Structure 1
């Protein structure tokens, strides 16, 4: 009875809760810097534009730690990595709060980037090997929750008269609490092949294509193509969210209030999509949802690019947000099917690194286009990227088997695999 009612539900859901909390924790600092930077720059006697100096350092650190996560997970389990990374994040946040100069803030940004990249890659690798479509999309939905809570917390702190330094201390205290939770529950992170939730991914991940688990050449090609799809997808998502307000107001003539609500609607569609499309993917298959989502991004981008009333562009942006919602988690979930289980953790780390590069480079490129061609250039730019991403995803589908092919259990050591 205890096996059916106790450990089964406990071991299956407790890691899900921890992972969702970890994703909330990871997102807490992300939206805070932009809110606090005006106060910080004034204290450091720096122009507002000095914020651009911090971003490359943070991205480079996150990319470095993301690419190394697969190797680290080969030596320690995810609970240890998350605990250490969350403590590192606490150190970085306290570094912000105690920073005497801009260069101390740069150093804290590097430390936070290292922690963020490791947590992001580690959580995705863990979820891809143990969760189904429902839980991995919910995990990514929790990022939006954390990205909302962080700025709200800072807003309350500032409105109550606190200085910006205390805002970082508050977030550091929250993350330290989570780090202690990860440490205390480390046994639940260890690999447990008999745990029911660990088998969920077998209903959604694809079996390795012949040759991808062996010769390195085909696997490298799939890895490069997969990383490119991740980079372009996140570039579309980030660039649309960043430039949507300028696009709708300057380019399409919407009132600022309406455009602001539309941008909020874009991120709300991302959150809602991850909540509802995960369970749908478990019912109809990750491959079908991914194909529809990739097509939906193209459709939404086309609506943004077409000349016409502003409401058409607004609707296209919302369609794009809803369609983009499940792509990152479901592509992560099916990673093992593209490169094989033995290479999945390292590949997920590289995919996360590629997504961070895409999030930094492509929105910047969109900004240059807007500067030289006008705000309406965002629509065609997003459409072109959507077509490139769809082409890349189509190639991945051709190179890999269906995402519904069951994966047979691995043979136990010492037993022959032949019948």
Structure 2
């Protein structure tokens, strides 16, 4: 199987459990005799495990072959899904969620390290667009299963089987085809502080960017209905269009970045996101707010994969794997923390606060991105 197809399938697989849990949880909570709000107890365990494994994966790749790591991480994720399927209680689900977070965090980081080493701008965007495919297939699959009376346990069992098959496929690619370049010797102490600063700025850019994407995905419906007066049907259609445009934007803009290079597309993305948030903030008809939201989706679409692709341009070769892992971990934190804080603001001031909050975040993103990209490039290793 071509490795690009395999990477896309794996990235689609990462989206499946996240998109399934929200639909399966009402049935799960009823069976476990738990309130619906008990879902909040699971999320910190999964997120914490994913952040930890994402941050450590870059270091592991200097010791473990890519194919072996992906095979083990995918098998660990399958074990977590199987644990969900067989769980007799909420506590067992919590334990399974930890396995799931550890596995998917490592998969996410390892796939991005591989893509940064082997893919161009077009293909890394294709890989990230595949996440949207998983986010669409997952809810449809669980909805059909529940409607047919199959139940959530069998759905999780089928997902576990799919990931086990994927783990076996990765296991057959243990050798040369899945290798990534090993890190060279560590930089001298004179460049260490600069490396910390660049890594911190990279982490901030990823956290803010994913916070913006996740914040819109979570709160746009409330913003459009309660804040801007759209009907439920129209608002739901607009939110679906947001995710569709985000996915299509990666497919289209990735090809453009392949021709122009990532730098101009990244700059246009940052400017476009800020302009789109400003468009949502100004007093104007609701159609303008919707247009701003879709423009933000277009602008944001290629940023995450292109930032991953250009990591080696910002840090020394010795730090590339580790930095990608830290960036993925930061993105998971940002996708959790910023939407939660936005929710608190909405609760206290009303849903219209979403637009100025997005404008503030896009301004912070533009500032951090400018500081990050205007630093001197790391020295290249000398040929022996």
TM-score, normalised via structure 2 length: 0.95
Displacement of 1:15 in angstroms is: 1.7
Judge conservation of contact 2:45–2:97 (CA < 8 Å) in 1: yes
Instruction: Check 1:393–1:243 CA distance in 2 against 1; reply closer, same or farther (3 A cut).
Output: same
Task: Tell me the distance in 1 between the aligned counterparts of 2:311 and 2:15.
Answer: 23
Judge conservation of contact 2:73–2:106 (CA < 8 Å) in 1: yes
Match of 1:41 among 29, 36, 43: 29
Displacement of 1:99 in angstroms is: 0.7
Equivalent residue pairs, number: 379
1:215 aligns with 2:203: no
1:369 aligns with 2:357: no
Task: Tell me the distance in 1 between the aligned counterparts of 2:119 and 2:381.
Answer: 16
Judge conservation of contact 2:250–2:301 (CA < 8 Å) in 1: yes
Task: Tell me the distance in 1 between the aligned counterparts of 2:266 and 2:374.
Answer: 14
2:229 aligned counterpart, secondary structure: coil
1:182 aligns with 2:167: no
1:329 aligns with 2:294: no
Task: Tell me the distance in 2 between the aligned counterparts of 1:408 and 1:27.
Answer: 36
Task: Tell me the distance in 1 between the aligned counterparts of 2:37 and 2:211.
Answer: 22
Displacement of 1:291 in angstroms is: 0.3
CA-to-partner distance for each residue in 1:7-52, whole Å, 9 max, x for gaps? xxxxxx9221111111112111110000000000001111111111
Task: Tell me the distance in 2 between the aligned counterparts of 1:126 and 1:213.
Answer: 28
Displacement of 1:408 in angstroms is: 7.5
Judge conservation of contact 2:65–2:175 (CA < 8 Å) in 1: no
The match for 2:145 is 157
Match of 2:209 among 220, 223, 233: 233
Task: Tell me the distance in 2 between the aligned counterparts of 1:272 and 1:410.
Answer: 40
Task: Tell me the distance in 1 between the aligned counterparts of 2:189 and 2:256.
Answer: 30
Displacement of 1:305 in angstroms is: 1.3
1:118 aligns with 2:106: yes
The match for 1:351 is 327
The match for 1:60 is 48
Task: Tell me the distance in 2 between the aligned counterparts of 1:40 and 1:259.
Answer: 28
Task: Tell me the distance in 2 between the aligned counterparts of 1:76 and 1:214.
Answer: 29
1:2-401 to 2 correspondence within 5 Å? 14-187=2-175, 189-191=177-179, 215-401=191-377
Where does structure 2 lack aligned partners over 5 or more consecutive residues?
182-186
2:179 aligned counterpart, secondary structure: coil
Task: Tell me the distance in 1 between the aligned counterparts of 2:356 and 2:166.
Answer: 43
Displacement of 1:161 in angstroms is: 1.1
Instruction: Check 1:247–1:14 CA distance in 2 against 1; reply closer, same or farther (3 A cut).
Output: same
Instruction: Check 1:183–1:34 CA distance in 2 against 1; reply closer, same or farther (3 A cut).
Output: same
Displacement of 1:188 in angstroms is: 5.1
Task: Tell me the distance in 1 between the aligned counterparts of 2:58 and 2:315.
Answer: 14
Judge conservation of contact 2:66–2:179 (CA < 8 Å) in 1: no
Task: Tell me the distance in 1 between the aligned counterparts of 2:143 and 2:46.
Answer: 23
Deviates more, 1:389-398 or 1:150-159: 150-159
RMSD: 1.8
Judge conservation of contact 2:67–2:179 (CA < 8 Å) in 1: no
1:30 aligned counterpart, secondary structure: helix
Task: Tell me the distance in 2 between the aligned counterparts of 1:51 and 1:146.
Answer: 21
Judge conservation of contact 2:125–2:250 (CA < 8 Å) in 1: yes
TM-score, normalised via structure 1 length: 0.87
Instruction: Check 1:152–1:214 CA distance in 2 against 1; reply closer, same or farther (3 A cut).
Output: farther
Instruction: Check 1:373–1:18 CA distance in 2 against 1; reply closer, same or farther (3 A cut).
Output: same
Deviates more, 1:152-161 or 1:80-89: 152-161
Task: Tell me the distance in 2 between the aligned counterparts of 1:83 and 1:355.
Answer: 23
Where does structure 1 lack aligned partners over 5 or more consecutive residues?
1-12, 194-210
Judge conservation of contact 2:114–2:180 (CA < 8 Å) in 1: no
